[in-house]
Amino acid sequence: MSAPRGQFSSNIGFLMAAAGSAVGLGNIWGFPTKAASNGGAAFVVVYLVLAFLLAYPALMAELTIGRHARSNMVQALRGISTGPISRLFGSLAGFGGILVASLILSFYAIVAGWMVAYLADPFASLLGADGAAAWLTGNSVGRNLTFTAIFSGMTMLIIAAGVEKGIERWSTLLMPSLIILLLLLIVYVLTQPGATTGLEVYLMPDFSQFSPKLLISAMGQAFFSLSLGVGTMLIYGSYLSQQESLPRLGALVTLIDVGIAFTAGLLILPAMYVAQEAGTQIFSAGGELIAGPDLILQVLPALFDTMGTAGLFVAIAFFALMVIASLTSSISMLEVPVAFSIENLGVQRRLATPLVGLVIFAISSVIIINFDTLFGLVVSISTEYGQPLLGVALCIFAGWIWRRDQLLAELQKGHPGIEKSLFWKIWPWYVRIVCPLLILAAFAQSVL
Ligand code: PFF
């Protein structure tokens, strides 16, 4: 007998957890900087369209399969298979999902570790511990290992507590805090000199930058932002009660994700131009807006430094926001291999979590030690190849392999009258034909 499965206690709990997974560094850091370097509002418009036309239908495939199967990705895909070949394909995609989720977590925890170190930095400054402050922002291997370990430990503590007491409780606490911090920071930054230039760069569309590259970049961003392909949303769907409407909850998760990404742009772009006004370089030698780690780890801290004591509090609020956003995402990634270990290998959650967590931390450590060769490679393999290809596999499972009557029956649960909706008329065909073709086309463009 296996242990009883966890379940979210309410639809709000699910919503906070799924939106928490979706809202992360991808929204607050990735989205605004991609928008700024790809034509501002032109990118925003393309992203919005893709999020609803491509990412939302793919998200629905994961949620529907997950809630029906009530199990992790490997078991779920095998369970809805109809023959030995599709079962083999299901195992491959399922294990692929576990591997890619673990790889994403291994680099995500490093970046999140930087955020924890930068959150600790103003406290060290306040205490007058200048040596410690310099170490915290010094980018040494020791610093990176320490803070990746701290962040991974926090992730493990939440996951070890289980679905309701860990994932749901913490997401419900952290997501509203994230929104409050984000809004406070926006209000503060928008009152600083230079902010309106940033708003213009963000909100004035430059459609001349529209290109296949922009489309692909927006699709990758949408997939990463909605945590698609790796079984995170599938496993969260599997903890959702049958009384809830999947299309509605999925749409809400997408709206919250897109809404917070857009709102974060109202913070990051104005903040960059405020920094410029205060004398910080925000363009690279090649004339491009600084978007990578230098933005978060140099441009913004330089800005906070010019703000005197207020800057210490702004820095604390900003890096607390980043840590919170990272944590609600990292727990969803760790849950993927942990749920597999519990359900398929029979290991108890309290043991499975540290075991899996340590393996992933070991991968992070190898990346930290060989940062220049491995970091970009792992990001690229997992997010540019892994996520879209697994997304196609999930659409094929929902659209072609899974028995149609079962798929439709799952959609009807918790949503009386769905037969009259547009969703019912469009989605089952859409996920079968349009979704996989669109993803594959964009994928081919980007890698060929
Ligand atoms: N959606 C997260 C973000 O935007 O930062 C990243 C992410 C979380 C990707 C969970 C994949 C995943 F399974």
Q: Encode pLDDT of 208-221 as tens digits.
A: 888 887 888 888 89
For residue 258, the model assigns a pLDDT of 96
Whether ligand 1 lies within 6 angstroms of the CB of 27 is answered as: yes
Distance of CA 255 from the midpoint of ligand 1 (Å)? 16
Supply the CATH classification number for the domain 11-447.
1.10.4160.10
Whether ligand 1 lies within 6 angstroms of the CB of 17 is answered as: no
Atom 10 of ligand 1, nearest CA residue: 227
For residue 210, the model assigns a pLDDT of 82
Residue to substitute in 159, 234, 258, 333 for testing ligand 1 pocket (most ligand atoms within 8 angstroms of CB) = 333
Distance of CA 210 from the midpoint of ligand 1 (Å)? 26
- Asked whether residue 3 carries a pLDDT value surpassing 60, the answer given is no
Q: Encode pLDDT of 122-175 as tens digits.
A: 999 889 899 999 999 999 999 999 999 999 999 999 999 999 999 999 999 999
- Asked whether residue 12 carries a pLDDT value surpassing 60, the answer given is yes
Whether ligand 1 lies within 6 angstroms of the CB of 221 is answered as: no
Share of the chain above pLDDT 90, in %: 81
Q: What are phi and psi of 286, to 5 degrees?
A: -80, 5
Whether ligand 1 lies within 6 angstroms of the CB of 192 is answered as: no
Nearest atom in ligand 1 to the alpha carbon of residue 332 is 10
Q: State the average pLDDT for the chain.
A: 94
Whether ligand 1 lies within 6 angstroms of the CB of 235 is answered as: no
Distance of CA 302 from the midpoint of ligand 1 (Å)? 28
Whether ligand 1 lies within 6 angstroms of the CB of 25 is answered as: yes
Distance of CA 40 from the midpoint of ligand 1 (Å)? 23
Whether ligand 1 lies within 6 angstroms of the CB of 76 is answered as: no
Distance of CA 152 from the midpoint of ligand 1 (Å)? 15
Whether ligand 1 lies within 6 angstroms of the CB of 230 is answered as: yes
For residue 424, the model assigns a pLDDT of 96
For residue 443, the model assigns a pLDDT of 80
Whether ligand 1 lies within 6 angstroms of the CB of 104 is answered as: yes
Distance of CA 138 from the midpoint of ligand 1 (Å)? 27
Higher pLDDT, 446 or 76: 76
Q: ipTM value, please give it.
A: 0.99
Whether ligand 1 lies within 6 angstroms of the CB of 101 is answered as: yes
Q: Encode pLDDT of 343-357 as tens digits.
A: 999 999 999 999 999
Confidence of residue 427 (pLDDT cuts 50, 70, 90): very high
Q: Encode pLDDT of 99-113 as tens digits.
A: 999 999 999 999 999
- Asked whether residue 1 carries a pLDDT value surpassing 90, the answer given is no
Q: In whole angstroms, what is the distance from residue 166 CA to residue 353 CA? A: 12
Whether ligand 1 lies within 6 angstroms of the CB of 224 is answered as: yes
Segments making up each domain of the chain, as ranges: 11-447
Distance of CA 104 from the midpoint of ligand 1 (Å)? 8
